[in-house]
Structures are given as structure tokens and as C-alpha cells.
Chain A
């Protein structure tokens, strides 16, 4: 990130990898990237960072004991067996 233009693009990179950046800024980033290896690497590793967090995220499951205590606290005990069948 030694080019003068790199820093200005920094705050747009997150939206760029999400694909939500407006077209003119996208084009500017892509033009810049074609001549700036450092920025390309930052964008690639930024994308990979997000991907790693997403693929390693735990499934949204409740441990059985946590589930039972929750239903008990909410006075929903009668729904425990029925619910865990789902």
C-alpha cells in the first residue's frame, strides 16, 4: 500500500468484496488493482478472511441440556419432547 491511491480505496474494499459498491467505484478499484499487486493481495486475503469465518462458524444448535433448561425457565416443559423431535 505505497501508492497514494491505495489509502483512499481502503474504506471501499469491504463493500467491494460484498459486491454492494456502486459501479463507478468498482471500476476505479479494478483499474487500480490491475496495476497494484499489493491491493490485489489485500482484497484477495480480505475475501478469504471472511470466507474462513463463514465456513468455520458453528451450526446454530443448542446443546440438549441448554435446551431443556431454557424450556423449563420459560415454563414450556410440556413442549420439550415434542420440540426435540423436530
Chain B
């Protein structure tokens, strides 16, 4: 996994706070790829992701003078970007639905219905173009409250604590949402790979 934790946070805060442009350019260079990927995953739209990317660093530039250093720079950037992206999602939805107070049904625990061991499916099957599209669609189908936690934790590799700082949630809430997101995705993947394995058996049987 490409994890931004591998980047050392060796930026000079005094330089950033006093508007050192070279240092700010270095910060943008280091994190823009991660912020863009987050936007793409959350919004599934390159134009929206680019808007979020630009807004994030414009806001960061304005806000650096007041950055208190309580969280890491990367967590702070993820926080700005996530808020921007969630605002885009809110605007898309009509009527407005609060993301902080999700409908109860949205967050119900996913009871495993599909029990089928597809772990040993061939790599070519698991990694096919079609499978990748299904993976994307399954994430997209999650309610935003669960999707954002899954992406921050499992795609971007943030810790539970960092994710809780980005989303202003308790760590317990992050864990619960991650669990629900993962169980739902597992269910979707099991449905898909189960169907593929079934088809394969039929094809082999008819030979």
C-alpha cells in the first residue's frame, strides 16, 4: 500500500507559517497526490477531485499561520480535504442530509448472508478489470459516513486516532463505522466472486 506515513514530516513549521513559498511548494509536492487520490475515491469524479485538491491547498495556505500543530500536518490536510469533499457530496444530495446524523438504517450492522469461501479464487479472477470495477462500485454504494472511514483507514492507511481527528469522531465511532463498511464490502465481494465461481463450475462441467 502506498502510505503517506512513509513520508517523514520534516517540514519547517516556522517557515510554513511565515509564508516561505519554497517550503510550501515542498509540502504541496509531498501531499497533493494523496489528497487527489482521496478526492477521486470519495467523489468518483476527476473534476470534483481536482477542485477539492485546489481548495484544500488554498485553504491550507491561508490557514498555516494559525496551524496549532496539535495534529500532524498530513492529518490536518486530510481534514481540510475530507471536509471539502463531504461538502461536495452534500451539495449533490437533495434535500440536504446531515452526514453527522445518519439515518439509522444506513448504519445497521451487516449480517453476513453470503457464506462462501472465495479466498482461493485464481489471482486473475480476483484482479481482473471487471473485478476492479466491482470493487469501486461497492465502495461507491456505501453511505458517505461509512465510505469516508473506509477510505481513510484502509486505502489511505490512516490510524484510528488520525481518522478520528480528521472526522471529529470518537475512536469508537471510527471502529464501528469501519467494521460496518468492511462487512458490507465483504458481502458485495462474496456475491460477485460467488457468482463467478459458480459460472466457472458450470463451464467446466459442460466441457
Contacts and interface: CB of A to CB of B under 8 A. Distances in A.
Interface of A: 1, 7, 10-11, 13-15, 20, 38, 41-42, 44-46, 48-50, 52-62, 66-67, 69-71, 73-74, 76, 79, 83, 86
Contact of B186 (A15, A42, A59, A83): A42
Residues of B in contact with A, size category:
35 or more
A57 B155 contact: yes
A54 B154 CA distance: 7
A14 B153 CA distance: 12
A19 B115 CA distance: 23
A76 B24 contact: yes
A3 to B, nearest CB: 12
A44 B190 CA distance: 11
Given A53-B155, A56-B127, A66 B175 contact: no
A76 B58 CA distance: 11
A58 B37 contact: yes
Q: Is the interface of A mostly helix, strand, loop or mixed?
A: helix
A41 B115 contact: yes
B135 A7 contact: no
A56 B64 CA distance: 34
B10 interface: no
B189 A45 contact: yes
Contact of A73 (B24, B34, B54): B54
Contacts of B127: 52, 55-56
Contact of B179 (A14, A44, A52): A14
A21 B126 CA distance: 28
Contact of B28 (A48, A50, A57, A76): A76
18 contacts: A10-B109, A10-B112, A13-B179, A14-B179, A14-B182, A49-B189, A55-B127, A56-B132, A61-B33, A69-B50, A71-B28, A74-B24, A74-B54, A74-B58, A76-B28, A79-B21, A83-B26, A86-B29
